Amino acid sequence: MTCAADYAPQLRARGYRMTPQRMTILHVLHHSGKHLSPVDIYEQARKELHGITETTVYRTLEFLAENGLVRSAHMGNGHLVYEIARHEHHHIKCRNCGSEMEVDHALLAKLYRQLESASGYRLTDSHVTFFGLCPDCQKGE
Protein backbone atom coordinates (compact mmCIF):
# COMPACT_ATOMS: atom_id res chain seq x y z
CA MET A 1 0.00 0.00 0.00
CA THR A 2 2.95 2.32 -0.51
CA CYS A 3 1.20 4.58 -3.04
CA ALA A 4 -1.05 6.08 -0.37
CA ALA A 5 2.06 6.94 1.66
CA ASP A 6 2.54 9.73 -0.89
CA TYR A 7 -0.34 11.48 0.86
CA ALA A 8 1.05 11.23 4.41
CA PRO A 9 3.18 14.41 4.16
CA GLN A 10 0.09 16.42 3.21
CA LEU A 11 -1.69 15.23 6.34
CA ARG A 12 1.36 15.71 8.58
CA ALA A 13 1.74 19.27 7.28
CA ARG A 14 -1.78 19.93 8.61
CA GLY A 15 -1.01 18.31 11.96
CA TYR A 16 -2.70 14.95 11.29
CA ARG A 17 -1.32 11.45 11.13
CA MET A 18 -1.84 8.77 8.51
CA THR A 19 -4.06 6.14 10.11
CA PRO A 20 -4.54 2.66 8.66
CA GLN A 21 -8.12 3.63 7.72
CA ARG A 22 -7.01 6.76 5.87
CA MET A 23 -4.20 4.84 4.18
CA THR A 24 -6.55 2.09 3.01
CA ILE A 25 -9.18 4.47 1.64
CA LEU A 26 -6.56 6.53 -0.19
CA HIS A 27 -5.09 3.32 -1.60
CA VAL A 28 -8.49 2.17 -2.89
CA LEU A 29 -9.21 5.53 -4.52
CA HIS A 30 -5.69 5.93 -5.92
CA HIS A 31 -5.84 2.59 -7.69
CA SER A 32 -9.43 2.81 -8.86
CA GLY A 33 -8.75 5.63 -11.31
CA LYS A 34 -12.43 6.52 -11.24
CA HIS A 35 -15.19 7.81 -8.99
CA LEU A 36 -16.38 5.42 -6.32
CA SER A 37 -19.35 5.55 -4.01
CA PRO A 38 -18.71 5.21 -0.28
CA VAL A 39 -20.25 1.72 -0.45
CA ASP A 40 -17.86 0.72 -3.26
CA ILE A 41 -14.95 2.11 -1.26
CA TYR A 42 -16.09 0.20 1.82
CA GLU A 43 -16.41 -3.07 -0.11
CA GLN A 44 -12.86 -2.75 -1.42
CA ALA A 45 -11.37 -1.35 1.80
CA ARG A 46 -12.65 -4.17 3.99
CA LYS A 47 -10.70 -6.64 1.83
CA GLU A 48 -7.53 -4.75 2.74
CA LEU A 49 -8.30 -3.72 6.31
CA HIS A 50 -10.38 -6.22 8.22
CA GLY A 51 -12.63 -4.61 10.78
CA ILE A 52 -13.11 -1.30 8.99
CA THR A 53 -16.73 -0.22 9.22
CA GLU A 54 -18.93 1.57 6.72
CA THR A 55 -19.35 4.42 9.21
CA THR A 56 -15.58 4.81 9.42
CA VAL A 57 -15.38 4.99 5.63
CA TYR A 58 -17.97 7.79 5.51
CA ARG A 59 -16.27 9.75 8.30
CA THR A 60 -12.83 9.27 6.77
CA LEU A 61 -14.00 10.36 3.32
CA GLU A 62 -15.43 13.53 4.83
CA PHE A 63 -12.14 14.18 6.66
CA LEU A 64 -10.04 13.53 3.53
CA ALA A 65 -12.28 15.83 1.47
CA GLU A 66 -12.04 18.61 4.05
CA ASN A 67 -8.26 18.28 3.88
CA GLY A 68 -8.03 18.34 0.10
CA LEU A 69 -6.87 14.77 -0.52
CA VAL A 70 -10.09 13.53 -2.09
CA ARG A 71 -12.82 15.31 -3.99
CA SER A 72 -16.51 14.55 -3.85
CA ALA A 73 -18.83 14.95 -6.79
CA HIS A 74 -22.49 14.58 -7.67
CA MET A 75 -22.70 12.48 -10.80
CA GLY A 76 -26.43 12.62 -11.40
CA ASN A 77 -27.73 9.79 -9.27
CA GLY A 78 -28.32 11.85 -6.13
CA HIS A 79 -25.37 10.28 -4.30
CA LEU A 80 -21.86 11.52 -3.73
CA VAL A 81 -18.92 9.75 -5.32
CA TYR A 82 -15.27 10.29 -4.50
CA GLU A 83 -11.93 10.38 -6.28
CA ILE A 84 -8.36 11.37 -5.49
CA ALA A 85 -7.95 15.15 -5.77
CA ARG A 86 -5.22 15.22 -8.40
CA HIS A 87 -6.11 18.25 -10.49
CA GLU A 88 -9.06 20.55 -10.95
CA HIS A 89 -11.43 19.16 -13.51
CA HIS A 90 -15.08 18.66 -14.26
CA HIS A 91 -17.05 15.95 -16.01
CA ILE A 92 -19.47 15.48 -18.82
CA LYS A 93 -21.65 12.39 -18.58
CA CYS A 94 -23.93 10.73 -21.11
CA ARG A 95 -27.49 10.45 -19.82
CA ASN A 96 -28.09 7.45 -22.05
CA CYS A 97 -25.11 5.08 -21.70
CA GLY A 98 -23.41 6.58 -18.64
CA SER A 99 -20.03 7.13 -20.29
CA GLU A 100 -18.14 10.10 -18.98
CA MET A 101 -15.08 12.16 -19.69
CA GLU A 102 -13.06 14.78 -17.86
CA VAL A 103 -13.29 18.45 -18.79
CA ASP A 104 -10.19 20.48 -17.99
CA HIS A 105 -10.89 23.29 -15.54
CA ALA A 106 -9.07 25.74 -17.82
CA LEU A 107 -12.05 25.59 -20.18
CA LEU A 108 -14.27 27.00 -17.42
CA ALA A 109 -11.81 29.27 -15.61
CA LYS A 110 -13.12 32.44 -17.28
CA LEU A 111 -16.70 31.51 -16.38
CA TYR A 112 -15.65 30.93 -12.76
CA ARG A 113 -14.00 34.37 -12.59
CA GLN A 114 -17.12 35.98 -14.08
CA LEU A 115 -19.33 34.16 -11.60
CA GLU A 116 -17.20 35.33 -8.69
CA SER A 117 -17.19 38.90 -9.97
CA ALA A 118 -20.95 39.00 -10.56
CA SER A 119 -21.91 37.28 -7.31
CA GLY A 120 -19.28 38.53 -4.87
CA TYR A 121 -18.71 34.94 -3.82
CA ARG A 122 -15.26 33.36 -3.70
CA LEU A 123 -15.65 29.86 -5.08
CA THR A 124 -13.97 27.29 -2.86
CA ASP A 125 -15.13 24.10 -4.51
CA SER A 126 -14.96 23.69 -8.22
CA HIS A 127 -16.55 20.57 -9.55
CA VAL A 128 -19.30 20.62 -12.13
CA THR A 129 -20.88 17.70 -13.94
CA PHE A 130 -22.52 18.38 -17.28
CA PHE A 131 -25.03 15.97 -18.78
CA GLY A 132 -25.83 15.28 -22.38
CA LEU A 133 -25.62 12.61 -25.07
CA CYS A 134 -22.27 11.23 -26.17
CA PRO A 135 -21.44 11.05 -29.88
CA ASP A 136 -22.28 7.31 -30.04
CA CYS A 137 -25.70 7.76 -28.43
CA GLN A 138 -26.47 10.72 -30.69
CA LYS A 139 -26.02 8.42 -33.69
CA GLY A 140 -28.74 6.15 -32.30
CA GLU A 141 -31.32 8.90 -31.89
Tell me which DSSP letter residue 77 carries. Answer: S
pLDDT at 1: 47
CB 105 within 8 A of CB 119: no
CA nearest to 96, candidates 49, 132, 63 = 132
Give start-end residues of each CATH 1.10.10.10 domain in the chain. 2-84
Residue 47, pLDDT score: 96
Taking the C-alpha atoms of residue 40 and residue 35, their distance in angstroms, rounded to an integer, is: 9
Q: How far is residue 7's CA from residue 36's CA, in Å, rounded to a whole number?
A: 19
Q: Does domain 89-139 have CATH number 3.30.1490.190?
A: yes
User: Quick one: pLDDT at residue 2?
Assistant: 57
- Residue ranges matching CATH 3.30.1490.190 in the chain: 89-139
Cβ proximity of 70 and 84 under 8 Å: yes
Fold for 2-84, please state it. Answer: Arc Repressor Mutant, subunit A (1.10.10)
pLDDT of residue 112: 86
**pLDDT (tens digit, 0 to 9) for every residue of the chain, 141 residues total?**
456 668 889 899 999 999 999 999 999 999 987 789 999 999 999 999 999 999 999 999 999 998 989 888 876 667 788 988 876 777 888 989 988 888 887 888 888 889 999 999 988 766 778 889 999 999 887
pTM for this predicted structure: 0.72
CA distances from residue 34 to 9, 30, 44, 123 in whole angstroms, order as listed: 23, 9, 14, 24
